[in-house]
Structure 1
Amino acid sequence: MSRPIKDQTVLVTGAGRGLGAAIAAAFAREGAAVVVNYRSSRDAAEGLAARLGDRVIALQADVRDPEAVAQMLRAAEDRLGPVTTVVNNALADFRFNGDARKTLAQISPAEMTAQHETAVLGALTVLQAAAPGMEAAGFGRIVSIGTNLFQNPVVPYHDYTAAKAALLALTRTAAAELGPKRITVNMVSGGLLRTTDASAATPESVFDYIAGATPLRSVTTPEELADAVLFFASPWARAVTGQNLIVDGGLVPG
């Protein structure tokens, strides 16, 4: 079963700014109803929703909190209809600056756990809350945001990369369980994006190096990656599940 994007209600977690905001804007552009989820970026999320139109709303919830997530989904259904599509984009506070990263000797278990709690357990919480409604409708699309760093750890961000690798494993096991219920589960993995709040600390020389190393001779933008997310929600991907699509201008082979 498939639905046009314009007939979907899409929840994008961590969508108040950066890549999440670009993904929300891409779905709104294609006519979907969109929930802009945020944890603390209220002004940015509400401003984005206002710019994107009447079928876009901003709702607060920490994805690590099951009750907050359940309340968000109820509010979304009341205002836009049942959520059919989820994009797991929420990210614990992180800065992509290789010079300032924690090495293996410095990083703590708490820092490793913080990334895992948001990227993996947060995605699980949202999935558990949204999947029953998708099953009842006989249609669901779940897309998680990964990274090309677990194929190519050119900068070893241990906490971030390990969490995203675990999220890929969850993507594939969830796809196996939810497939018979007509719910697909996929991942889109970017590299360094030009530019988000998380990548703003990256030196310009690093952007230039990456651009020169890609076949497209450019660093992927949030808007370009967002369009790849749309593919997995679209009717054209109705037979695709458990996959990880790398969107980084060809830097890392799939």
Structure 2
Amino acid sequence: MTNDERFAGKVALITGGTSGMGLAVARRLLAEGARVVVTGRDQGRLDAAAKGLDGAGPGADGRVLAVRADAGSLPDLDALMDTVRDRLGRLDVVFANAGTGTFGPAADITEADFDHSVNVNFKGVYFTIQKALPLLADDASIVINASWTLHRGLPIASLYSATKAAVQSLARTLAAELGPRGVRVNSVSPGYIDTPMFRGAVPADEVEGNRAQVASGRIGTPEEVAGAVAFLASADAAYVNGQDLIVDGGLVAAVA
């Protein structure tokens, strides 16, 4: 089976699929034959993403379903899963990607900051997976988007890092829980990736400093993360379970 057939006949859900890594994963799985469901909170951005994906390549048209949903809203998640059940019947892949970034010194983090980050980054991931469980095929794969910051301390990232550590722990425990069903659960931990969130969080004059920390000497691309997610979601990773795949150009493991 070639890469462009790995997901033929499969159904994949990508939360937060309107930009950045989520959109890149949707495009990659679509190119490899999947039917993809993408979610986002903003209807305009969701419509634009769906239109772009529909035109992503031969045969893509008709294999994209865009559903407006806030990952932190349980009623939205219930409605999302009802739509998937009614339209597609099952899920073979879940990429729990929707997330937010709140950065600042621990002394400055407010309760509102805390509640928002935990609501999206942890609660949203937890209940996305919980509510997808009845739809999962017996050989389904779940991939959670974590972060390199759970492996290495980063000043001003105490809240963000804690939520990402929580979902990486969730991947391990769910791998044990869902293993008897044949469902695999892994996570990816991207490093510095050139996404709208990265550009919004990092001032332009600090990007060079970030790049200099990376052993590979550059900022990563969403497409490189998409390749890692596609691997973990595919049968090529059939014996990979409960793992965290760091996609960071050597940021964590090597001294630049």
Separation in 2, partners of 1:250, 1:240: 21
Counterpart CA distance in 1 for 2:6 and 2:178 is 20
1:104 aligns with 2:106: yes
Could you tell me how far 1:208 is from its partner in structure 2? 1.9
Identity of aligned residues (%): 34
Contact 2:6/2:33 (CA < 8 Å) preserved in 1?
no
Listed one character per residue, the Cα deviations across residues 91-135 of structure 1 (whole Å, up to 9, x for unaligned) are: 13x36xxxxx4212211233223211111111111111111222x
- Cα distance in 2 for partners of 1:133, 1:166 equals 24
1:151 Cα deviation after fit: 1.4
Residue 45 of structure 2 is aligned to residue 44 of structure 1: yes
Q: Following TM superposition, by how much is the alpha carbon of 1:196 offset from its aligned partner in structure 2, in angstroms?
A: 1.9
- Over aligned residue pairs, what C-alpha RMSD do you find? 1.9
2:206 is matched with 206
Aligned to 1:59: 67
Q: Secondary structure at the match of 1:84?
A: strand
Among residues 75, 79, 89, which one is paired with 2:83 in the alignment?
Answer: 75
User: How far 1:243 sits from its partner (Å)?
Assistant: 0.5
What is the aligned partner in structure 2 of residue 219 from structure 1? 219
| 1:21 to 2:23 alignment | yes
Tell me, in whole angstroms, the C-alpha distance in 1 between the residues paired with 2:71 and 2:213. Answer: 36
- Residue 124 (structure 1) aligns with: 126
1:9 aligns with 2:11: yes
Q: Give the superposition deviation at 1:15.
A: 1.0
Does the residue aligned with 2:106 lie in a helix, a strand or coil? coil
Structure 1 residue 201 displacement after superposition:
4.1
SS at match of 1:219: coil
Please tell me the residue identity of whatever aligns with 2:184.
Answer: T
Deviation at 1:58, TM superposition (A): 0.7
Q: Provide the C-alpha distance between the structure 2 equivalents of 1:238 and 1:152, rounded to a whole number of angstroms.
A: 28
Aligned to 1:33: 35
One-letter amino acid matched to 1:113:
D
The DSSP-based 3-state class of the residue aligned with 1:242 is coil
- CA deviation map 1:219-251 (0-9, x unaligned): 111111111110111111111111111101111
Aligned to 2:173: 173
Name the structure 2 match of 1:98. none
3-state SS of the aligned residue for 1:197? helix
Structure 2 CA distance for aligned equivalents of residues 148 and 87 of structure 1: 17
Runs of 4+ in 1 over 4 A off after TM superposition: none
Q: Is the 8 A contact 2:192 2:198 kept in 1?
A: no
Letter in 2 for 1:43: G
Aligned residue number for residue 138 of structure 1: 138
Q: How far apart, in 2, do the equivalents of 1:81 and 1:28 lie?
A: 18
Secondary structure at the counterpart of residue 73 of structure 1: helix
Question: Using a 3 Å threshold, how does the CA distance of structure 1 residues 200 and 114 change in structure 2: closer, same or farther?
Answer: closer
Aligned to 1:217, the other structure's residue is in SS state coil
SS at match of 2:128: helix
Whether contact under 8 Å (2:168, 2:187) holds in the other structure is yes
Distance in 1 separating the partners of 2:125 and 2:250: 27
Q: 1:70 to 1:139 in 2, by over 3 A?
A: farther
TM-score, length basis structure 1: 0.88
Equivalent residues of 2:12, 2:34 under 8 A apart: yes
Alignment check: 8 A CA contact 1:13 1:37 kept: yes
Cα deviation for residue 198 of structure 1 reads: 4.2
CA contact (8 A) 1:27 1:34 kept: yes
Q: Do the aligned partners of 1:148 and 1:191 also contact (CA within 8 Å) in 2?
A: yes
Q: Which moved more, 1:68-77 or 1:11-20?
A: 68-77
Please give the TM-score of this superposition, normalised by the length of structure 2: 0.88
> What residue identity is the alignment partner of 1:25?
R
Aligned partners of 1:90 and 1:28: how far apart in 2? 19
Q: Distance in 2 between matches of 1:175 and 1:113?
A: 27
Structure-2 separation of matches of 1:221 and 1:77: 33
One-letter amino acid of the structure 2 residue matched with residue 168 of structure 1: Q
Distance 2:142 2:16 in 1: 15
